[in-house]
Structure 1
């Protein structure tokens, strides 16, 4: 596939299997929490600081906890893999944690216990995400392959993430299942079982087919702070890309918490919602590889700016449409925007990473994405109380802010690419 290293494809397949497991939970956990099978805290229905503690907010907390803990830990795990010069062992450890915690969902009986499992799962994910991305970056033989590598990797990962929700809804609705052993498995437990299988498949692929590239112990800094100010511009470009990734991820994650309100507004069922949720990912599956490949030849910045131009109206439209089909169109446009930003942003960060420090540098973007997926459900859970359109208007405003920052503060990093400079007097 565009001359991609075989190990990158194996990593992509491994992340695809793992992504199926994680995306199952994004759909299953809201249904599980709202099903009545789980004991909810007694304070549901009251208000704290004027914010009503609704089911949507409880769901948002559960979904967000993974992202918060995952993101906080990623700079540490990314730097650890840089310092030791090893990636594989940390990926395998994280996948083991993800598999064990997926089993635990089937045995918890309270909302509080579910939060503990979700927190542990977030820490496990922190060992997988930055180290896998860093390994993909390490395997690029030149800057002219980096965008393509990330495009291939993201495509397979997003296939798992996109089709998982559709299958998850069908698995839950199809339960209970009578096993040959005489045991009856509920739809929820069957879905948790699929998540376990996904993590184990990923573990097997990495164990058998991936090895760390030859390297010496990297001289990664002990300083985990992110450079905010730039040398020749106001802000550091990696910091700006992190902020842009944060805002983009928030816009993606706004949708998941609002499953019930969206279905009620559009007069649709959970299958339609699963298709709409997956539309963002499906667009990415189709476009990530060609965009990554083109970004290695045309340049990174045209795609970054173009994607953010599309992002704001696509997000706002989701709060305004009134039919399932129009929501699908808006979500597809959202996916096109994300595809234009994601791989080129990772490629720019990879271009700027110092030798042996790709895990540390790229963790800025993966951490930002994780924070965005954590903040998004909470934001939509809170803002939904002010009107259906408000969460989406908030996401659109963030997209506009990201556009201004990226257009003015990020330079083209691909040598030979010709793009306009947005800074007066810039080279």
Structure 2
């Protein structure tokens, strides 16, 4: 009898430990929430690329200068990339839904203002406000996604949608820009207003508000100032290299100032009781690998979106609409393959899928390095854009899965902001490097007496060749950074 009674205390705890497994049921509205935040990310992605084909009409309509045309894109990227960490931390501190709605309101109003702009200054101010709004909206969206989906398989599907939306938005932005340029460029911005109102109404109905988990208000003012200033200077240095050059004192001074501020930021965070960005995130292999994956994918992706239209319009004579439609295979590949990739990533693992994406990118770069001076669409552009879409699917889906796999409910916004900042900085850096190489090669070929179209093609070939450096680094990131990575299965509460 004593033996049996002695055994009971050992078996009882096993029953009590099993009970909590029935704890938190999944949010029944989670798939609707995914639709809302994906639409928000879609709008942001479109506005990152829609101005690529607007140049001539902006010059005609409001007298935009060549420098002003560059800054229509640069001011958006500068503030978007520079303020992302602050936006992500605010999402953790004051609530994800509040930051999401605040960013959405600012982005929508700025879009309205951009459409009504009658001067260069007004347009640049509106684009600046769009960048600030996006810097709040984007990390808040991803952190809501991280916290709403607790189940590993469901989260993989959700990230599949998220990754596809980024690529589809970039390609649709080019198509939309081309179509609207043929009508009225202002509608490229005005279309965001009804969409923004729809997103806002749906967000209020579907995304739960909850008490913030962090300190309120943020106490790390020194950290906020140093990291925001450091990122702004870093992005400024990168996006202005085509204007000033890499060796210009303004570029070098901006890089140097950025380095000083970011070193000060690390020192401040070590001593802060409530750090803006917990330094432990930078010791997480998943966060570092995911951020590198985002940076390198964007560094290859955006130069292709940015440079290929030069060849289409200036050599092949494509109209803006034809240029946009040429990217249609990218969107088709993303829409058809993303659901499949989301289903199979649980079996393949993020590492294998990401490495398969780098193989597809290798094929794209091999074709672009041998770009002909003249070619029919089916002979060259069709295989390039189709393979490009495949590479985007296989690289964009695994990176957020890896990057957020160790995120907690208290730092989901900050982790999401790190990934988003990596994407924006990678895109700016990739474009800056490839454009610099392109310009140098075009100048050299012109001096050697090459025809204008031949010189441009040689420059494009060189600009795409330099992207091979990012490809090699992507392979190394996949091999060593994604090793042992799996789709996350974190406990989650509702998105704030």
- How do 1:336-375 and structure 2 match up within 5 A? 336-375=390-429
Query: Superposition pairs for residues 132-151 of structure 1, below 5 Å?
Result: 132-151=141-160
Query: Match for residue 402 of structure 1?
Result: 474
Paired positions, count = 382
* Aligned partners of 1:94 and 1:127 also within 8 Å: yes
Show CA shifts across 1:35-54 (max 9, x none): 4223344xxxxxxxxxxxxx
1:210 to 197, 204, 207: 207
Of residues 194, 198, 222, the one that matches 2:195 is 198
Contact 1:21–1:164, Cα closer than 8 Å, also in 2: no
Q: Tell whether the 8 Å contact from 1:10 to 1:209 is kept in structure 2 after alignment.
A: yes
1:105 maps to 2:114: yes
Residues 12 and 154 of structure 1 are in contact (CA less than 8 Å); yes or no, is this contact kept in structure 2? no
Instruction: Call closer, same or farther: CA 1:315–1:202 in 2, change over 3 Å.
Output: farther
Partners of 2:463 and 2:27 in 1: how far apart? 39
For 1:287, which of 337, 340, 359 is the aligned residue? 337
Residue 414 of structure 1: how far off its partner (Å):
2.4
C-alpha displacement at 1:398, in angstroms? 0.9
Instruction: Tell whether 2:294 aligns with 1:239.
Output: no
CA distance change for structure 1 residues 228 and 132 in 2, over 3 Å: closer, same or farther? closer
Partner SS state of residue 349, structure 2: coil
Corresponding residue SS for 2:117: coil
1:265 Cα deviation after fit:
2.5
Contact 1:101 1:117 in 2 (8 A): yes
User: What whole-Å deviation, never above 9, does each CA across 1:14-46 have from its counterpart, x for those lacking one?
Assistant: 5326624752673346424564223344xxxxx
Matched, 1:307 2:357: yes
Deviation per CA, 1:269-308, whole angstroms, max 9, x where unpaired? Answer: 2223212345434322222222123223432211122212
Distance 2:212 2:115 in 1: 43
CA distance in 1, matches of 2:211, 2:338: 29
Contact 1:257 1:381 in 2 (8 A): no
Residue number in structure 1 paired with 2:462: 390
Identify, as 1 or 2, the structure richer in helix: 2
- 8 Å CA contact retained: 1:384, 1:391: yes
Q: C-alpha displacement at 1:4, in angstroms?
A: 9.9
Unpaired runs of 5+ in structure 1?
A: 42-54, 176-186, 417-427
Q: Check 1:247–1:111 CA distance in 2 against 1; reply closer, same or farther (3 A cut).
A: farther
In structure 2, how many angstroms separate the alpha carbons of the residues matched to 1:133 and 1:361?
A: 9
Q: Could you tell me which residue of structure 1 aligns to residue 247 of structure 2?
A: none
Distance 1:130 1:4 in 2: 21
CA distance in 2, matches of 1:222, 1:331: 43
CA distance 1:4–1:348, shift in 2 (3 Å): farther
Q: Where do 5+ consecutive residues of structure 2 fail to align?
A: 1-25, 219-273, 442-458, 489-496
Map Cα deviations across residues 170-192 of structure 1 (whole Å, 9 max, x no partner): 2331x3xxxxxxxxxxx122332
Aligned twin of 2:235: none
User: How big is the shift at 1:125?
Assistant: 0.1
Give the distance between the partners of 2:72 and 2:165, measured in 1 at CA. 26
* Match among 198, 210, 224 for residue 277 of structure 2: 224
* Structure exhibiting the larger radius of gyration computed from Cα positions: 2
SS at match of 1:352: coil
**Normalised by the size of structure 2, how large is the TM-score?**
0.68
Q: Name the CA shift for 1:378/1:37 in 2 (closer, same or farther; >3 Å).
A: farther
**Cα distance in 2 for residues equivalent to 1:103 and 1:415:** 39
Judge conservation of contact 2:63–2:120 (CA < 8 Å) in 1: yes
Identify which range, 126-135 or 301-310, moves more after superposition. Answer: 301-310
Residue from 46, 52, 61 that aligns with 1:37: 61
Q: 1:195 to 1:215 in 2, by over 3 A?
A: closer
Deviation at 1:111, TM superposition (A): 3.5
Rounded Cα–Cα distance in structure 1 between residues aligned with 2:68 and 2:311: 15
Which residue pairs with 2:103 in the alignment? Answer: 94
Give SS of 1:356's match. coil
* 1:63 corresponds to: 73
How far the C-alpha of 1:361 sits from its partner, in A, is 1.6
Report what 2:449 is aligned to.
Answer: none
Q: How does 1:326-341 map to 2 (within 5 A)?
A: 326-341=380-395
Aligned partner of residue 116 in structure 2, secondary structure: coil
